[in-house]
Amino acid sequence: MATSNTSRPKVVITRDLGPEVMPLLLSRADQDIDVVVWDQGKPCDRTWLLENVAGSSALVVLRTDKVDAELLNAAGPQLRVVSTMSVGYEHIDVHELAKRNIKLGHTPDVPTEAVADISVMLSLMAGRNARETMTIVNNGQWPEYNWAPFLFCGRQLSASKSSPTRVAGFIGFGRIARATLMRLVPFGITDCLYTSNPLSKPNPSRDSQIATDLHLRSVRRVDLQTLAEQSDVVFVLAPGGEETANIVNEEFLKKMKRSAVLVNASRGSLVDSDALVKALREGWIWGAGLDVVKGEPRIAADHPLVKEPRCIILPHIGSATIETLLEMATLAINNALMAIFDKDMPASLDLSAYSKK
Amino acid sequence: MATSNTSRPKVVITRDLGPEVMPLLLSRADQDIDVVVWDQGKPCDRTWLLENVAGSSALVVLRTDKVDAELLNAAGPQLRVVSTMSVGYEHIDVHELAKRNIKLGHTPDVPTEAVADISVMLSLMAGRNARETMTIVNNGQWPEYNWAPFLFCGRQLSASKSSPTRVAGFIGFGRIARATLMRLVPFGITDCLYTSNPLSKPNPSRDSQIATDLHLRSVRRVDLQTLAEQSDVVFVLAPGGEETANIVNEEFLKKMKRSAVLVNASRGSLVDSDALVKALREGWIWGAGLDVVKGEPRIAADHPLVKEPRCIILPHIGSATIETLLEMATLAINNALMAIFDKDMPASLDLSAYSKK
């Protein structure tokens, strides 16, 4: 696969992305491009990469690959584009890219639907005691339970005669939050509350448009306290980082309804794990569904959240669907190919803010 | 609580239904009714019931109580109503009720939303490997997994660029199926297929009305083979009984898409468990989500379905939400009270077909 013909632009890719996507590159190998693939089925070795990146025009990376000055120097001045198969780019030194006038491609928006699906799934699982009840069956304990009217009884996400109004609360109200909200409408959600970055401007006319489009009684930006107090389900779908660290803390959890559930499908840093353990143990809330946990993946079997039966924990699988990952892989490769042939990249980041001339 | 004043109609109830519902009866006890409650927190003892039912005007029962000629004889000719806190009435001899002109109340429709919620939850869980991935976290194995692009990868319920059309198939197309379909619309479901009792008349104009209302490309009644072949997710939501036994068998499962999931939230009898084990083991389908299993609750830890990692099994919790059960309990008591005071019962069954005069 690897050749060193200098007349063709060289593309280095740090993972074999499988038979459905790789032909996008490999079918052109030795024709209009050269292709070098790390095909070991494990994260790309740094030494190998530093060696093989030399002379490349495009570098396709994953979130496990650190792209820094050292790597860019090893690549050489002909490098035109770094394309990452990820939404975020914390692993990439954007200042170094901007300084060298190297383009950056990423894969925004693609995981929206997959993460919205997981958010709805977690809200249902947390309300309906999915973990406790599955464990009973899997351990062979079902026969020990005599049927009784309120056996295994959970909380209902859907509206009901006794709870005709249902309020969904969102910490962060970007694409994924709105895709989640859309999915909740036929469950009988009547009102939507959300909090946003305090520096962003309120947008009541957009909010009332969303309410109209989705046939909701209201979509309102509120403070955290109101969100906690009034929501039947709270979704944490905001960016990580210092500003949002522990935004769901003891104070927040204590204000939530005892019948409510908490879902986090964004970053573990937003939820104070100790506070959540307390909330579950003492019944401040009904349950929790987490796709992310602070300190992941180093979550041991005796982690206090793992020991809470009403806490559902998934190993960060929000975007992990075949459909979404193939689309991300395809987009990452196309970003690289378009850039080296001077065509418009389908999804590039504007780095002009980072270049200090 | 129990008195024997013969001037007041006596209500016998076979379970203490809890502090939110029982006041409906108990607040009237010794005023306009007498109330006798089995309050032992376990299924009502038959000997106790045969003794205490004597002289009653209303009998409120659960699906664990057998209502037959012996019990009705023990009650006496003044019994006016049997009210069951259940949708089904397999535990009640309706011929004996009809013969004696005793009314029958039940609680139809109430669990629709709760079961539709569970159906959506199971379809997501089966596609997204919820059981396998939760088990990895709960066993403390998450740290052992190096991140890789397709790690823990599942199938996406939502539409995507590579799968812009999504077909939901329903075996049985009653209230619960239609409530489930509604919930799937914002996931990007484009088409709905269903099968019905072959004796029922097709209703294409109703179907096209549903399609219009839900903005679907099509809602079509088809044969089982077409349903199996074309659906991305198959929901089994039909009545039990001989006509539907093993309707999902080897032949059906072999015709399903390898990427599809099967959900059963109706009765275990509709799915051939051995065939489903084979289908999961050999990859005929992606996964399964079951709220009911043939032979339940006698499902041991070494049951072959329990041993399939892509098979989610819940212990028949479809209607088990606080909201739904309180509504069912309230309706069961109101059915009894209305009948003894000669008012319209909110939900009674017409037994005229069973009375042979």
Could you list the active site residues of B?
267, 296, 316
Lowest mean pLDDT among A1-5, B197-201, B334-338: A1-5
Tokens matching residue B235? 């929901």
pLDDT at B116 exceeding the cut of 80? yes
| Contact (CB<8Å) B158/A62 | no
Closest chain A residue by Cα to residue B300: A140
Residue A331: CB partners within 8 Å, gap ≥ 6?
A: A85, A105, A107, A110, A346, A347
Residue-wise pLDDT tens digits, A230-280: 999 999 999 988 999 999 999 999 999 999 999 999 999 999 999 999 999
In a mutagenesis test of the B interface, which of A139, A259, A314 is the best target, namely the one with the most B β-carbons within 10 Å?
A314
pLDDT mean over B317-332? 96
Mean pLDDT, chain B, as a whole number? 95
**Residue limits of CATH 3.40.50.720 in chain A:** 10-110+322-351, 112-313
Distance CA A170, CA A232 (A): 11
How would CATH label the architecture of B112-313?
3-Layer(aba) Sandwich (3.40)
**Residue limits of CATH 3.40.50.720 in chain B:** 10-110+322-349, 112-313
3-state DSSP call for residue B220?
A: strand
Q: B295 at the A interface (CB within 8 A)?
A: no
pLDDT of residue B328: 96
User: In whole angstroms, how far apart are CA A300 and each of A297, A306, B139, B329?
Assistant: 9, 8, 8, 42
pLDDT of residue B146: 85
Tell me if A69 sits within 8 A of A94, measured CB to CB. Answer: no
Residues 9-68, chain B, touching A (beta carbon < 8 A): 15, 17-18, 41-43, 62-64
Distance CA A174, CA A145 (A): 44
CATH numeric code, B10-110+322-349: 3.40.50.720
| Contact (CB<8Å) B142/A297 | yes
The one-letter amino acid code at B275 reads A
In a mutagenesis test of the B interface, which of A63, A83, A135, A183 is the best target, namely the one with the most B β-carbons within 10 Å?
A183
| Contact (CB<8Å) B315/A133 | yes
Q: What is the least distance, in Å, from the CA of A266 to any CA of chain B?
A: 17
pLDDT of residue A6: 58
- 3-state SS string for B77-94: CCCCEEEECCCCCCCECH
Burial readout A292-324 (b: 16 or more C-beta within 10 A, e: otherwise): bbbebbebeeebebbebebbbbbbbbbbbbbbb
3-state DSSP call for residue A156?
A: coil
> Which parts of chain A have pLDDT scores under 70?
1-6, 356-357
CATH numeric code, A10-110+322-351: 3.40.50.720
pLDDT mean over B172-178? 97
Q: B296 at the A interface (CB within 8 A)?
A: yes
User: In whole angstroms, how far apart are CA B145 and each of A64, A217, A264, B27, B141?
Assistant: 13, 44, 21, 59, 7
Closest chain B residue by Cα to residue A306: B138
> Omega before B315 cis (within 30°)?
no
Label residue B6 by pLDDT band (50, 70, 90): low
| Contact (CB<8Å) B140/A314 | no
pLDDT at B126 exceeding the cut of 90? yes
pLDDT of residue B323: 95
- Smallest CA-to-CA distance from A124 within A312, A315, A320, A317 is with A312
pLDDT mean over B95-107? 96
Residues 78-107, chain B, touching A (beta carbon < 8 A): 85
* % of residues, chain B, pLDDT over 70: 98
| Contact (CB<8Å) A155/B323 | yes
Give A290's strand partners.
Answer: A264, A313
| Contact (CB<8Å) A117/B124 | yes
Label residue B3 by pLDDT band (50, 70, 90): very low
Q: Which of A156, A298, A325 is facing B324, going by the closest CB pair?
A: A156
| Contact (CB<8Å) A130/B314 | yes
pLDDT at B326 exceeding the cut of 90? yes
Q: Which of B62, B156, B317 is facing A323, going by the closest CB pair?
A: B156
User: In whole angstroms, how far apart are CA A34 and each of A18, A19, A204, B236?
Assistant: 18, 18, 52, 51
Q: Is pLDDT larger for residue A41 or for residue B15?
A: B15
pLDDT of residue B2: 47
